[in-house]
Amino acid sequence: MMNDQKEQIRDFLDMAAAYLSGGYLMEKTDRYVYNRNIQPSFIAGISAEKSAGSESAPQSDKFTHDVETLKSQSDIHQQNLPDTLEKIALEVHSCHACRLCEERKNAVPGEGVPRPLVLVAGEGPGADEDQTGRPFVGRAGQLLDKMLASIGLSREKNCFIANIVKCRPPRNRDPSPDEIAACAGFIQRQIKLLKPLVVLSAGRISASALLQTTVQITRIRGIWKEYCGIPLLPVFHPSYLLRDESQKTLAWEDMKSLCRHLVDLNEDYKNETSELRAARNI
């Protein structure tokens, strides 16, 4: 191993240690150092509610912004180990691949269950997400949760919520093409690991990035597409629906289309939502 490679690995582990134990970035040296006066800052990982052999143990842990267990930094970043959600999360938090890292408070890897029926891919974090490190927690996120709940979905039970870019663009501007390109590997790796039955692409930026198209969201909304062999449904972003409530009728049609698709793909979902679908005439 060359000396410069060793230096890169050492720097990477320093950053990981700082994120796990509390730390700050030295602007002149571009290195993370430990500060014992800073409270520990937790990154996205898999919560550890595991009790081996226990019937009361949950079927799957939830991937959240809180960390109860995380593999050691050195193990996570060994290139010969398989990709994991926590490895991706740690890389997101230590990423400096584009200018968005310069003003972020928190990167936002994503959260949800590790074996989701649906992966929701949004555009990028907003102010609330930048503050909390969690995706879709502001007004648009609250509307998204209601939309998902209307057809028996949630980030706690059967969805994973993520964004195309993991850091907030300043003043909530659209991410630039180079910023999207710098971040593309993260969402691609998450989808590959999670293997969702469906990808719900929320908004113009998400649809453009995943489908590699410049077609307006108004022209492809509600039309089933495909991403790497996975059914993908482009829909309006919840923030757009907050600005133009007249479009909520179309958004409900999209949710019903998603529901019907999931019924065809998953027997458990079909059985669990039978009463809900009957009540809503889906």
CATH code of the domain containing 199? 3.40.470.10
Is 30 found in the same domain as 114? Answer: no
Whether 95 is in a domain gets the answer: no
Q: Using the predicted structure, report yes or no on whether residue 67 has a pLDDT greater than 60.
A: no
Mean pLDDT of the 154-181 span: 96
Whether 158 is in a domain gets the answer: yes
Q: Which domain holds residue 11?
A: 1-40
pTM of the full predicted structure?
A: 0.74
- Residue 74 has a pLDDT of 42
Q: How many domains does one find in the chain?
A: 2
Residues, the chain, total?
Answer: 282
Residues β-bridged to residue 26:
31
Whether 77 is in a domain gets the answer: no
Whether 45 is in a domain gets the answer: no
Whether 88 is in a domain gets the answer: no
Tell me whether residue 238 is exposed, middle or buried, using C-beta atoms within 10 angstroms of its C-beta: 0 to 12, 13 to 18, 19 or more.
buried
Each residue's pLDDT tens digit, 86-126:
999 999 999 999 999 999 999 999 999 999 999 999 999 99
Lowest-pLDDT range, 71-85, 193-207, 253-267?
71-85
Each residue's pLDDT tens digit, 181-239:
999 999 999 999 999 999 999 999 999 999 999 999 999 999 999 999 999 999 999 99
DSSP string, 139-204: HHHHHHHHHHHTTT--TTTTEEEEESSSSPPGGGPPPPHHHHHHHHHHHHHHHHHH--SEEEEESH
Is 135 found in the same domain as 11? Answer: no
Whether 81 is in a domain gets the answer: no
